[in-house]
A and B are shown apart, each in its own frame.
Chain A
Amino acid sequence: MTSSPQNNPNDEIRFQVIWSNLISIVEEQARMLMRTAFSPVVRDSGDLSAALFDRQGRMLAQAQTGTPGHVNSTAAAVPLMLEEIPLDQLDEGDHLITNDPWLASGHLHDITISSPVFRAGQLIGFFACTCHQLDIGGRGQGPDAASVFEEGLAIPVLKLVKKGEVNADLMKMIRANVRTPGEVEADILSYVAANEVSAQTLCDALDKLDLDGLESIGDQIINRSRTSMIDEIRKLPRGKATNSITLDSFGTPVEIICTLEVGDDGLVLDFEGSSQASTRGVNLVYNYTNAYASFGVRCIVGPDIPNNTGSLSAIKVKAPIGSILNVERPWPVCARHIIGQFLPEVVMGCLAKIAPDRVPAEGAACLWGIQLRGGPEIDGNFDRDEAWGSGRYETLFFNAGGTGARPRQDGLSATAFPSGVKAMPIEVVESNAPIVVWRKELRPNSAGEGRYRGGFGQDIEVATIDGRPCGLFAMFDRTTVQARGREGGESGSFGKLGLTSGQDLEPKGLQIIGPNERMYFELPGGGGFGPATDRDPGLVGDDQRAGLYSVNPDADDD
């Protein structure tokens, strides 16, 4: 037996072992965040990101949870935070905090904690996590504000923990500015703990692997991922493709235009020509645009390449300053996820023109998170004993429409894409807040027809349990623009919302729901793929038998 000259088998095997070790450490970091978090959207829905960085701030490994908007923004946040507080100002036991939309994930509701990892006195890297808070003060989550100043408490990059000591002044300041101080504080401390435990696990693993730090392994991970991504991109036909999408947005429709160019050493996404910034909080910061746009590419090109600074570096995203995709301070940005979640659709539409057999039809895209508030801020009754106690609540539960049909399969019904969050059990939702979800089931005839049909949306009905008024923070889209089919597939149905007593509701902005009203939400369906005439009649029959599809749907099933 002779050894292969160019490759020492031991080195190669060892490298693979180390890499999978790092990925399993961040997966565990994410699980621990979900287990210890207080914010229901983190603990039940997994609206978070968790990742490991080297000392230069390069993301080496990332947990497969949460939303791409968090994950890829965290990747950008850690180096930006390092610019604010450089390496030589960091001590063992420090933990940095920020919710700056322009440094991290695009709105104040996400708190990012970045924690340096020290080993034998040397800073070797960082664990960072970004998690969603239900409340961060201000008006509440919605696009209603006219500037970021109205959107809540802003936390610049600060040391939340200094050499193991929690900065009590800062914590007091945070507590004083939010509606649920106990939960927010406990949450933040649980993020710190998760990073701490992960740091310890990493150091133990490095001991066992006989490694001093992450530098050389980091170079290998980044280089190999970047090279593989570029190889995948080179398999695409060279050239340009442009796609655009129109969204309801807030009041005036918004157009997002993307030109994708396949080059020799990567792929460029240019959003030149997209609508100007909105006066309401549906705007995106560059990081967030970059995050979701890149994700659209990653789903189609080299999806099995792990997500890290290397694989992401093969994708360049350009968005004109002042456009709705790249606003500067102090534009309002709170509900940036609405347009954000459409960016993968726009990008995938470009790719469909280059690689038509790999790209699904459009889907509902934006999650329909139903966020409700009750209490004095809604009914003006500050006198009640319970005004700031049990009568006051802030609750959010996620609901998904249908995804677009895939080139060789139907779309997924009531399934989140591109978001990676989970829906909470209704039994838990109703235990958290005094509301009743009277209906939550698939919406018949909402899927776009095709050789493969889109996923079905869903029908939801909600009321307060005692008939008291509540506030609805509406952040819904696809109420005027359908999810388009591909290759001859039909469009999915519009979304719709209103009161069962007859009145329509606006898709965006805070609205007060009067006493004894019941809200309904009809979530959009996904587009179809290929002509409907090509569909397997057996599958049509199944959908008919299931009551999900009728040839002549009733008027109220439109």
Chain B
Amino acid sequence: MPEEASIRIGVDVGGTFTDFALALPQGIKSLKLPTTNNAPEQAILDGVNRLLGDNNISPDQVTGFIHGTTLATNAIISRTGARTALLTTAGFRDVLAQGDESRFDQYDINITKPEPLVPRWWRYGIPERLSAEGNVLLPLDEDAIGAIAADMRSENIESVAICFLHAHTNPDHEQRARDHLQVLLPSVAISLSSDVSPEIGEYSRFSTTAANAYVQPVMSAYLERLQSGLTDQGIKASIFMFLSNGGLCDLDTARRFPIRLVESGPAGGAVFAGNLARELGEEEILAFDMGGTTAKVCLIDHGVPGRSDSFEMAREHMHRQGSGLPARIPVIDLVEIGAGGGSIAQVDSLKRLHVGPTSAGATPGPACYSRGGEAATVTDANLLLGRLAANDFTGSGINISVDRARDVIAEQVGKALALTDSAGAAAISEVVEEQMAGAAREHAREKGIDLRRRSMVAFGGAAPLHAVNVAAKLGINRVIIPQAAGIGSAIGFLQSSAVFEISHSIRVLMSCFDASLFNQHFAAISRNVSAAVEAAAPGIPVDETRTLFMHYKGQGHSLAVEIPTRDLTDDDAVLLLSAFEEKYISVYRRPLAGIDVECVGISLRMSSNEDLLPVRNIINTGPADVPDTTDLFDLMENDYANVPTMSRSKMEPDTIFQGPGLIKDDGTTVVVPQGYIATCYDTGHLVITLQGDQA
């Protein structure tokens, strides 16, 4: 950047809180405000105003504004998106309703499947048909569009998804239908499946496109209000949006593909953890983010979070896999499970203790909040175990009652399992930790990764309470609890570069490898990707990755294989095959001989190559008033033991804090179990290691 100092603002709008990170040359300032759900820009404008005022910065000094929001996700979950229609191949009106025709729970006869975002009366079939190869079997009936448009107009349709079978192989029919429709309905937003998600599989492609259309008018209007609000306040910097793949895009791209913003909060957290790992020289980490409702785990190698090409939105039945709406969009590959501070504990008829995925949320909240919550939650357990104290919540306006926590745990857990209330609380903690460890274990296994060599980076309000125990279950001996862990996502936004990627389905046997075909497709995608990146980061050098999705011919699932970022030659077939085989062995152990390898898709990703903001110089605001000791429940002894306690603000680089004990931070507590030692980097990040294991 030029000599003029960079002053950037990151804003993460979550369901409960709006988090701000203001990056100044001397360090990062943070702010948390309640989200204003009806008009989210209101909290943003208030917060920006306050942050700038408190730090004597005038709005025109701000050089960058980066924003992520759950608005798109919330519109889908709460079904408050646009009046959306689907125009599809005649005979396939119900693709969105039929899905994969299965039940996500084999034994539960009372499941509810997710309602499509577009009701059947707004799903229109039009005669047209392509073959799997993209050849025209039935020409588009352009004359039929007029009547459909008239019907859409009388239904006050605001947004249309055009989704034809096999459109990913040939977009011509979709494009022509759009051209006609746009003339007839000029004010209606239109999304094409061949633009939004040009990949095989009609249910996931249609679902992604319908969701894009559904949130587009809402997002577009919101972004306009935000932009004009910021301009009115005198902010001249460009606004960038944070994507679920961990990159940035400009406002125009965000308006066209709002579906790509859905998981931006968790993605911001992953970017934050990745950059921290890079800064600290941690080659391979497990990022562990635990908030009020969910916990997220993400594998990060060399500072770069893993990626995935699909995601499930708005899961019914509490995050059960298969109960949501599929979205094929580039996302940071993380696992999110219903385990957080508000997760509710229950004992079933088999005397099995379950924690989550139902959450008490912020209202009514855990029983100990005394706001009418009747359920035993993880936060209640932590309070009873002595990890949290009533005065940790000072300033939050919440009146904490340890007795309420004790009563509900005794009633709902202790009684059924014949445990004391304290042992019941320990069981809740143990089970939720095991669930999070289980999610991490399964995710790692799926990727063929051994977690034991990794460090954990733990952030989010509830993570410091459970991080070391979760790590221990995973065989991880080193846990890092960064500064400003509570606003990790907003900081992550500030640390990102412009990133955009497009995937495309193509089907080629490697035995018939034709380099020119690949070069042609990559060239076409490259133009679109580079336009998006250039818009967000003009003039900045760009890094590029190219990926092939490959499998043995006949398999249904493919592996992502990175390939050189240059034009391919026919001789490269050997190189690509050996890269595939290496990947296959690393995931599935045994390669298969004598079966042709097939490429089923390509992907190209570009990111601007910028200097990233280091996470340091965060003004440390740990609580001032901390008792020297606390009574902490010890499950092995089945009794409370008196352990040392200190404020995080007192942790200096030479401080050695020996477990068992508690390090109190703002609104949360770092639990340092027996046998662990906490130390501190000069940047203020805590490191907790197994005794005798520290570097």
Contact = CB atoms under 8 A, between A and B. Distances in A.
Q: Do A and B belong to a common assembly?
A: yes
Interface of A: 1-4, 6-7, 9-10, 12-13, 16-17, 19-21, 24, 27-28, 31-32, 34-38, 40, 43-44, 46, 64-65, 68, 182-183, 186, 189-190, 192-193, 196-197, 201, 208, 224-225, 228, 231-232, 298-300, 302-305, 307, 360, 398-400, 406, 408-409, 412-417, 420-423, 425-428, 430-431, 436, 438-442, 458, 461, 465, 545-548
B422 interface: yes
Contacts of B348: 304
Given A298-B107, A420-B103, A201 B445 contact: yes
Contact of A40 (B417, B442, B556): B556
Given A9-B419, A299-B107, A1 B639 contact: yes
A193 B595 CA distance: 16
- For B431, B555, B589, B640, which residue has the most chain A Cβ atoms within 10 angstroms? B555
Contacts of B165: 426-427
Nearest to A425: B201
B446 interface: yes
Interface of B: 90-94, 97-98, 100-103, 105-113, 119-121, 125, 129, 131-132, 137, 165-166, 200-204, 348-353, 417-420, 422-423, 426-427, 430-431, 434-435, 438, 441-442, 445-446, 475, 507, 552, 554-557, 588-590, 592, 594-595, 633, 635-636, 638-640
A431 B168 CA distance: 13
Contact of B592 (A186, A300, A307): A186
A231 B442 CA distance: 33
Contacts of B110: 406, 408-409
A461 to B, nearest CB: 7
20 contacts: A1-B422, A3-B638, A12-B419, A13-B430, A28-B445, A36-B557, A43-B555, A182-B595, A190-B592, A224-B351, A302-B349, A304-B108, A413-B97, A415-B102, A425-B201, A441-B92, A441-B93, A458-B98, A545-B121, A547-B120
Contacts of A20: 434-435, 438
- For A182, A300, A458, which residue has the most chain B Cβ atoms within 10 angstroms? A182
Given A35-B557, A430-B131, A422 B100 contact: yes
Contacts of A417: 103, 109
B445 A415 contact: no
Contacts of A421: 102
Contacts of A224: 350-351
B349 A231 contact: yes
Contact of A439 (B91, B131, B639): B91
B91 A461 contact: yes
A12 B427 contact: yes
A43 B113 contact: no
- For B106, B165, B445, which residue has the most chain A Cβ atoms within 10 angstroms? B106
A550 B469 CA distance: 60
A441 B131 contact: no
Give me the 4 closest cross-chain CB pairs, A-B, nearest first: A43-B556, A439-B91, A546-B120, A38-B554
Given A64-B106, A420-B103, A430 B132 contact: yes
Nearest to A8: B638
A397 B76 CA distance: 31
Contact of B420 (A2, A228, A307, A465): A2
A64 B109 contact: no
A2 B438 CA distance: 31
A32 B590 CA distance: 13
A184 B105 CA distance: 30
Contacts, number: 222
B541 to A, nearest CB: 37
Nearest to A198: B445
Nearest to A18: B434
A436 B92 contact: no
Given A64-B105, A439-B91, A13 B166 contact: no
A17 to B, nearest CB: 5
Contacts of B592: 186, 189-190
B417 A7 contact: yes
Nearest to A401: B101
Contacts of B106: 64-65, 68, 420
Given A12-B427, A430-B132, A422 B349 contact: no
A4 B420 contact: yes
A546 B121 contact: yes
A127 to B, nearest CB: 14
B107 A423 contact: no
Given A208-B475, A425-B202, A458-B98, A28 B109 contact: no
B103 A28 contact: no
Given A10-B636, A415-B113, A28 B442 contact: yes
A7 B423 CA distance: 11
Nearest to B638: A3
B135 to A, nearest CB: 9
B640 A1 contact: yes
A9 B423 contact: yes
Given A225-B350, A399-B101, A415-B113, 10 more contacts: A1-B639, A16-B431, A35-B555, A40-B556, A43-B556, A304-B350, A408-B110, A416-B102, A438-B129, A442-B93
Contacts of A416: 101-103
Nearest to B108: A303
A422 B200 contact: no
Nearest to A442: B94
B200 A425 contact: yes
A224 B131 CA distance: 54
A415 B114 CA distance: 13
Contacts of B132: 427, 430-431
Contact of A24 (B417, B441, B555, B636): B441
B333 to A, nearest CB: 15
Contacts of A36: 555, 557, 588
B43 to A, nearest CB: 37
B122 to A, nearest CB: 10
B112 A17 contact: no
Contact of A426 (B202, B423, B430, B595): B202
Contact of B588 (A32, A305, A409): A32
Contacts of B475: 208
Nearest to B102: A422
Contacts of A426: 92, 165, 202
A295 B543 CA distance: 54
A9 B446 contact: no
B606 to A, nearest CB: 28
A265 B173 CA distance: 64
Contact of A442 (B98, B109, B350): B98
B94 A441 contact: yes
B420 A232 contact: no
A550 B442 CA distance: 49
A1 B348 CA distance: 25
Given A3-B423, A423-B101, A431 B200 contact: yes
B317 to A, nearest CB: 13
Contacts of B107: 64, 298-299, 303-304, 307
A10 B201 contact: no
Nearest to A407: B110
A13 B427 contact: yes
A16 B352 contact: yes
B554 A186 contact: yes
Contacts of B418: 4, 6-7
Given A35-B555, A412-B103, A439-B91, A7 B349 contact: no
A398 B100 CA distance: 10
Contacts of A44: 556
Nearest to A180: B554
Contacts of A399: 101
Contacts of A7: 417-419
A431 B507 contact: yes
Contacts of A427: 132, 165-166, 200-202
A420 B201 CA distance: 20
Contacts of A458: 94, 98
Contacts of A431: 132, 200, 507
